Structure 1
Amino acid sequence: MSREYEGTSRIVQELVPGKEITIAHLIASPDPELYRKLGLDPRIDHSKSAIGVLTISPAETAIIAADVAMKAAGIEIGFVDRFSGTLIVTGTISEVEASISAVLAYVETKMNFQVCEITRT
Structure 2
Amino acid sequence: MSSDNKERIIQEYVPGKQVTLAHMICHPKPELCTLIGVESSGAIGIMTITPGEGAIIAADIASKAGAVTMDFIDRFTGCILFTGDVSAVESSLTTTVRTLNEVLGFFKAPITRT
What TM-score, normalized to structure 2? 0.90
Specify which of 104, 108, 112 is matched with residue 111 of structure 1: 104
Q: Which moved more, 1:12-21 or 1:23-32?
A: 12-21
Can you give the 5+ residue segments of structure 2 that lack an aligned partner in the other structure?
none
Q: Indicate whether 1:23 and 2:27 are aligned.
A: no
Q: Which residue matches 2:48?
A: 55
Deviation of 1:11 (Å): 4.4
Q: 1:70 aligns with which of 41, 63, 67?
A: 63
User: Partner of 1:98 in structure 2?
Assistant: 91
Question: Any residues of structure 2 matched to 1:26-37 within 5 Å, and which?
Answer: 26-37=24-35
Partner-residue secondary structure (3-state), 1:116: coil
2-side partners of 1:81 and 1:63: how far apart?
8
SS in 1 for 2:57: helix
Instruction: Report % sequence identity.
Output: 44
The alignment partner of 1:105 has SS state of: helix
1:40-84 deviations in Å (ceiling 9; x for gaps): 13xx4x4xx100111110011001000000111110011110011
**Matching residue's letter, 1:113:** F
Quote the Cα distance in structure 1 between the aligned partners of 2:95 and 2:22: 11
Alpha-carbon distance in 2 for matches of 1:37, 1:80: 17
CA distance in 2, matches of 1:17, 1:71: 26
1: CA distance, partners of 2:7 / 2:27 = 50
- TM score, norm. by length of structure 1: 0.85
1:14 positional shift: 2.0
Gaps of at least 5 residues in structure 1 are 1-5
RMSD: 1.5
